[in-house]
Amino acid sequence: MTKDEAIAVLEEIATLLELRGENPFKSRAYRTAARAIDSLSEDFESLVREGKLDQLKGVGEGIRAKLQEMVDTGRLGYLEELKRSFPPGVVAFLDIPGLGPKKVKILWEKLKVRDLVELEAACRDHRVGKLPGFGSKTEGSILAGIEQRRAYASYHRYGDLIGLAEQLVEQLRSHPDVVRVSMGGSFRRGKEIVRDLDLVCSSVMSGSVMEAFVSSSGVQRIVNHGETKSSVVLEGGLACDLRVVPDEDYPYALLHFTGSKEHNIALRQRAIAQGKKLSEWGLFRESRGHLSEGSEDALPEKEAAGERILCRDEAEIYAQLGLAYIPPELRENLGEIEAAENDRIPRLVEWTDLRGTFHCHTTESDGHSTLDAMADAAQDLGLEYLGIADHSKSSFQASGLDEARVERQQEEIRKLNKTFRGFRLLSGTECDILREGRLDFADSVLATFDYVVASVHAGFSGNEEEMTRRIVRAMENPYVTMLGHPTGRLLLMRKAYPVNLEKILDCAAETGTWIELNAQPLRLDLDWRWWHAARDKGVRCVINPDAHHIRELGFLRIGVNIARKGWLRREDVINTLSLKLVEGALRKKRGDGG
């Protein structure tokens, strides 16, 4: 059992205890234990087997016994008993925005609803709105949440799948009969939402590769098991396809199954104009009398397509079509073909270009890692600077800092900075944009920070004009350095609030305000579709992880992938600057000189 698996079990127990209405101290004990285990640098399972967990503060004797049981048996009777305490469908209520354990407990006990179908019926009959503490507004929100959950049931967030995708690729790469392997589809193109995963690999022994694929751990159900294509459903309901081709076919298959459909159509039309034919089977010089593009499905074998043009990789296919190589992230038929024809494909930003980041939280607000731990983790990643931007006082639900706590944190940052060499903590705040565009701190307080992230966290009900005016007013404050998660969307959970992004970007260009690319898998905001336009207006992007834990600093890699999809170059991203240069940029932004 890994550390992360143990933490997940403890958090689940804490939630179920809250749902059952147990003493709050019990659930708090499990969450405390989870945080204690999260701080471990040693191998979790080894510590348990060696009986050393008693040295860990925050893990009591009862919880230690349960962890021992999990490691020894792979299961936990106490958790199974808790789950039997109520219908499993009730737990799904917690996925509805605005429904916490206390409200779910009321719904289950008072209305006897056991699943989402029964909950929906209770809302439509207006039984939910009559409960104390609910009302018609909550009833409507629950119905909207259920409908949204149903609509998004077959979709998955890109950032949530990265670990699984890498694991699938590595499993296949380690197979002795596999030559080359890659993800394909919308995942390879870096789309923020994907419906399934596509794998493409090359081998002369497709049967053995397919057998290993369909029998691998994590496969919940086999949909199709063939020689060249197999389809499975992974745990969590995620569909996954594998295609195996001879190695000489691999570049063409990878290009085809990466897509997008629109990009592929544009490439095929270009090939036809050159007297060639492009398909998943290869690139061919068409022979006289050959089948037309519209009858492609009638081709029995690739040999019928004409003389094959040998290409060893995707770059050579593009070159044969008179194009510069187009990175997968850009393959959406949104101008990349024309850019490649004129050798104007940009050198996209890379993960290794990042030198620091700004939007991070600590245990002072709603983070789960201390200031020291965040600083250590940032240095382990090779960053030169890390900005701490805990919430401001109006975000009371996130333990936002008031002026006195801000002053204490700034003093702690100054003390820590005296101990670093080649690294610096920057003092910032994620300052709430209040109604009418007012900021949560006075200018005299904002002036004490190295930078300010201004974000909307409440009051999403305004219309487009009101929300735009509210954000623009905040951006016009000279102490506001960057706009955080500009549209407030939560992928597969909450739509963006109405806002005129054209006006927001124009204001950013005029005021020099940086726009955040929030790399949290739930957000990925600002959307990649706007970054090309932002770049052309001269707006600078800042890739931030919105990290609430040391491991979430790794979200920066996801942010870079989305930035690449938005055509961003190194020079478009502010945190590719060195510490010295970024300090100058911060001074310039607030008018202190460069």
- Average pLDDT over the chain reads 91
pLDDT at 302: 56
In angstroms, the CA 121 to CA 128 distance is 9
State how far the alpha carbon of 536 is from the alpha carbons of 124, 481, 484, 577, in Å.
48, 20, 20, 20
Residue 67 has pLDDT above 80, yes or no: yes
Alpha helices (runs of H) in 418-554, residue ranges in sequence order:
443-446, 464-475, 501-511, 531-536
Q: Is there a common fold for 156-245 and 351-589?
A: no
Residue 388 has pLDDT above 60, yes or no: yes
pLDDT at 260: 97
CB atoms within 10 A of CB 287: 11
What type of residue sits at position 231? S
Cα 523 from chain centre? 7
pLDDT digits (tens, 9 = 90+) for 398-410: 889 999 999 999 9
pLDDT at 209: 95
Residue 556 has pLDDT above 50, yes or no: yes
Find, among 469, 471, 486, the residue nearest to 530 by Cα: 486
Label residues 51-86 b or e (16+ Cβ within 10 Å = b). eebeebeebeeebbebbebbbeeeebebbeebeeeb
CATH of 250-341, one of 3.20.10.10, 1.10.287.3510, 3.30.210.10, 3.10.450.50: 3.30.210.10
pLDDT at 305: 59
Q: What is the CA radius of gyration of the chain?
A: 27
Strands 514-518 and 541-544: parallel
Higher pLDDT, 23 or 488: 488
Structure letter (DSSP) for residue 204: S
Find, among 453, 450, 366, the residue nearest to 401 by Cα: 366
Under the banding of pLDDT at 50, 70 and 90, the label for residue 304 is low
CATH of 351-589, one of 3.30.450.20, 3.20.20.140, 3.40.50.620, 3.40.50.261: 3.20.20.140
Tokens representing 405 are 């706590």
pLDDT at 115: 86
- Host H or E run for residue 556: helix 555-565
8 A C-beta contact, residue 387 and residue 428: yes
Burial class (CB in 10 A: 0-12, 13-18, 19+), 225: middle
Mean pLDDT of the region 311-321:
98
CATH of 156-245, one of 3.90.25.10, 3.10.129.10, 3.40.50.800, 3.30.460.10: 3.30.460.10
pLDDT digits (tens, 9 = 90+) for 179-232: 999 999 999 999 999 999 999 999 999 999 999 999 988 898 999 999 999 999
Domain ranges of the chain: 3-144, 156-245, 250-341, 351-589
pLDDT at 60: 85
Question: Please, which residues have CB within 8 angstroms of residue 555's CB and are 6 or more apart in sequence?
Answer: 159, 519, 520, 521, 545, 546, 547
Bridge partners, 429 (sequence order): 390, 452
8 A C-beta contact, residue 582 and residue 574: yes
CATH of 3-144, one of 3.30.450.20, 1.10.150.110, 1.10.3660.10, 3.40.640.10: 1.10.150.110
Under the banding of pLDDT at 50, 70 and 90, the label for residue 40 is confident
pLDDT digits (tens, 9 = 90+) for 244-266: 999 999 999 999 999 999 999 99
pLDDT at 593: 52
pLDDT at 4: 76
Bridge partners, 389 (sequence order): 428
Under the banding of pLDDT at 50, 70 and 90, the label for residue 292 is very low
State how far the alpha carbon of 186 is from the alpha carbons of 7, 179, 256, 324, in Å.
31, 23, 12, 21
Lowest mean pLDDT, pick from 295-304, 433-442, 546-555, 575-584: 295-304
Structure letter (DSSP) for residue 64: H
Helix 101-111 vs helix 3-20: angle between axes, to the nearest 10 degrees?
Answer: 50
- Residue 356 sits at φ, ψ, to 5 deg, of -175, -175
Give the percent of the chain with pLDDT over 70: 96
Find, among 155, 237, 92, 240, the residue nearest to 491 by Cα: 155
pLDDT at 288: 53
Under the banding of pLDDT at 50, 70 and 90, the label for residue 296 is very low
Maximum CA pair distance of the chain? 82
State how far the alpha carbon of 250 is from the alpha carbons of 24, 31, 281, 295, 321, in Å.
57, 48, 9, 23, 18
Residue 532 has pLDDT above 80, yes or no: yes
In angstroms, the CA 294 to CA 296 distance is 6
Question: Please, which residues have CB within 8 angstroms of residue 590's CB and are 6 or more apart in sequence?
Answer: 447, 478, 479, 481
pLDDT at 141: 87
Give the percent of the chain with pLDDT over 90: 67
pLDDT digits (tens, 9 = 90+) for 68-99: 888 888 888 888 888 888 777 888 888 787 78
Question: Please, which residues have CB within 8 angstroms of residue 251's CB and are 6 or more apart in sequence?
Answer: 311, 312, 313, 314, 316, 317
